[in-house]
Structure 1
């Protein structure tokens, strides 16, 4: 592959990521609207889910940094999300002095009800692709996520 072909492919991947991000943001807005959540509420739920999936649950302080809000604002947001049944506080099993945020059962049920059809459609869309393509896509997404995290860390 020539360097110009490689550059064109990288530009196409960047365009695809922007399109995926735009679709994801629209889906997030729809979920938030259907569940009486604000934009920051949905972003908070997304950060909590990503952190839990990575095996590194968030504290309210870590969530505050990710959202770029004040301590008072994140406290209000967390209290609202707990009152609505979307989140709960748990003691960190590794350090009982630390409190982490987790999805509450109601929040999981709401998310499952909304996102299960998307999971089904995603499975159908990927069904015809060979495992090797999915493994390559995973490596590409991991590389892109790493680059974005590195950029974010330097841009803060």
Structure 2
């Protein structure tokens, strides 16, 4: 029997849109494939936005992480925010989430980030445990005000 190809992470490409939308759907987001494709195209030339995908041993996209670099105002350097991290339920606990976080961190530290932050809803205790297990600590509070104008979330 041949040894399996190791799991790995790479930068997302437009052909990954359907698989990414599927990963996001498993996390409960009704993100249209067309919106994912649009974002991938927008981010492909942006220095401050990256989307990584994790592939299983068979080359199937099983996870996604998006990250965005923002300049800090009060000190030199940048903040990187992870805005999405989703791994297909079929691939959870296989190390793909850790690989995705490591890829974001490598990019962030190399791009001058002073810190990386991620938010996670109160209804996701397993995600909280994961983030703490990979070295993230609960810090500060986030205050949010949503737009009074209703928008289609999938577009």
TM-score, length basis structure 2:
0.27
Normalized per residue, the structure richer in strand is 2
